[in-house]
Chain A
C-alpha cells in the first residue's frame, strides 16, 4: 500500500483520513454513501483494531486458539503495539504466523503506549 503525496492512502479516497478516532471510523463504516473501498477499509481497520482486546480465553478443552487470539495474546502479554510486532514471527506459539498489518493502523488512534522493545511509541504511528 502506498501513500500519496498529501498523506492519504492511494487505495482510499482523498477524504479518508490517515488518523481517525474510533467514532469517526464507525461513522465511515455506516455511511452508505461512502465509496465501497472506504467502507471496506473501515471494516478492515476495525478488524485489526479488534485484536487489541483485554481478555482472551485459552485452554478450554478442545477449543483451539485462533490466530486472532494468538495475536491478542502477544499484544496483551508483551504489552506491545501491533506496529512493533509487525514483521515478527510469533514466538509464543508454533503457528509460525508472521505479522503483517501493512499500515492500516496509521489511521487509528489508541492511547496506550507500546512497551515492546521499550520504544514507548503510542499506538498511533
Chain B
C-alpha cells in the first residue's frame, strides 16, 4: 500500500503542517510535494480534507524553507485541471504565491511562479491572478531579474 492510500498519512502530514515545528512543517510539505508528482496521488492529496488550506496557511505563516516546500507542493497539486481548480479556489493561495515572488529567493520564486503558471492555464484563474495584490508586479520582477528558467515560466 502506498503512502497516499493511507488516509492517516495525509492527515498526519496536514496535522504536522498546522502544528509542527518549522523544521517539521518543512518536511511535511516536502513530502506532499514529492508525493503529488504522481498523477493519482495528486488527485488523492488535493481532495483530502485540509491539505490545500494547510499549505495556504504555510505560505502565509511558515518559515522561508517551509514556504518554499508549500509552493512546491502547490505546484505539483496544480498540474491537473481538476486539482488546480481546488488550489485556485482556496483562500490565500494566489495572494500567498504573489507575495512569495517578492520575498522568496531562488527555489521559492521558482515554485511560486510555477504554480501561478499552472493556475494561469485555466482561463477563469487569470483574472484572479492578475488582480491579486502585487501579483503582476511580482511576475514583472521575475521577468526582469529571474533566472532564465523562471523567466520562461513568468
Q: What is the distance, in angstroms, from B26's C-beta to the closest C-beta of chain A?
A: 8
Within 1-41 of B, Cβ neighbours of A (below 8 Å) are at: 1, 3, 6, 8-9, 11-13, 15-16, 20-21, 23-24, 27-28, 30-31, 33-35, 37-41
Least distance between B49 CB and chain A CB atoms (Å) = 14
Q: Which residues of B contact A53 (CB under 8 A)?
A: 34-35, 37-38, 41
B117 within 8 A of partner (CB)? yes
Interface residue A51 (Cβ < 8 Å from any Cβ of B): yes
Verify if B83 is at the interface (C-beta below 8 Å from A). no
Q: Is B46 an interface residue (CB 8 A)?
A: no
A-B contact count (CB 8 A): 95
Check B31–A55 contact: CB distance below 8 A: no
Q: Report the count of interface residues on B (CB-CB < 8 A).
A: 37
Interface residues on A, range: 20 to 34
**Once bound together, how far apart are the Cα atoms of A32 and B39, in whole Å?**
30
Which chain A residue lies CB-closest to B76? A66
Given the known interface contacts A43-B27, A47-B30, A66-B72, the answer about A29 and B12 at a Cβ–Cβ threshold of 8 Å is yes
B34 surroundings in chain A (CB, below 8 A): 47, 50-51, 53, 68, 72
A90 on the B face (CB < 8 A): no
What residues of A have a CB within 8 angstroms of the CB of B75 in the complex? 66
Give the top 9 A-B pairs by smallest Cβ distance, nearest first: A43-B27, A40-B24, A47-B31, A30-B12, A50-B34, A29-B12, A68-B34, A44-B27, A47-B30
List 6 A-B residue pairs with CB atoms under 8 Å apart, sorted by A's residue number: A22-B1, A30-B11, A46-B3, A46-B28, A53-B41, A57-B79
